[in-house]
């Protein structure tokens, strides 16, 4: 495995940890200022909206993901593959499983990798 791929897989582990604990300070450092986050429901958030959303919902209950396919082109990386997110619904507090194809686009910055696009496209059931 290429060294950059190991670094990106470690980044993905940090992202999952930040979302499930939740660790908003860590999560904020992983997100680019120009983040576009598209939820499985189609809701779209910028960085501040997404952080507020995670804080209100108390984070994800669990994230399970196959080892993503990684494409690397200069300072841009794409991590894509199957994922299963267990989330708490804001309205009721009940847990809901979201299974689909997850795409992350990361940009390497002086402090490290940051997410510029995150999207979960749900699979039809």
Verdict on whether the full-model pTM lies above 0.85: yes
Give the count of domains, the chain.
Answer: 1
Cβ partners under 8 Å of residue 95, min gap 6: 61, 86, 87, 88, 89
Tokens of 15: 């992202």
**Parent domain of 49:** 3-122
Q: What separation in angstroms does the CA of 33 have from each of 27, 44, 62, 125? A: 12, 15, 25, 34
The residue count for the chain: 125
Predicted local distance difference test score (pLDDT) of residue 125: 63
State the pLDDT at residue 59.
86
Report how far residue 118's alpha carbon sits from residue 106's, in angstroms, rounded to the nearest whole number: 9
- pLDDT one digit per residue (tens) for the chain, 125 residues: 566 799 999 999 999 999 999 999 999 999 999 999 999 889 999 999 999 999 998 889 999 999 999 999 999 999 999 999 998 877 787 898 989 999 999 999 999 999 999 999 999 76
Cβ 32 vs Cβ 112: under 8 Å: no
Residue 71 CA: distances (Å) to CA of 5, 15, 27, 92, 112: 9, 18, 22, 38, 17
Residues 61 and 91 sit within 8 Å (Cβ to Cβ): no
Predicted local distance difference test score (pLDDT) of residue 1: 55
Q: What is the CATH number of the domain that holds 7?
A: 3.10.450.50
β pairing state of 44-45 and 60-65: unpaired
């Amino acid at each position: 495995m290429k060294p950059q791929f190991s670094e990106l897989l470690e980044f993905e582990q940090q992202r999952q940890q930040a979302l499930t604990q939740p660790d908003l300070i860590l999560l904020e450092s992983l997100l680019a200022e120009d983040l576009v986050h598209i939820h499985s429901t189609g809701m779209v958030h910028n960085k501040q909206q997404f952080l507020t959303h995670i804080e209100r919902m108390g984070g994800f209950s669990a994230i399970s993901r196959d080892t993503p396919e990684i494409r690397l082109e200069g300072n841009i990386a794409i991590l894509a593959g199957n994922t299963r997110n267990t989330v708490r619904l804001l309205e009721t507090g009940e847990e809901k499983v979201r299974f689909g194809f997850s795409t992350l686009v990361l940009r390497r910055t002086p402090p490290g990798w940051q997410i510029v696009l995150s999207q979960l496209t749900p699979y039809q059931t």
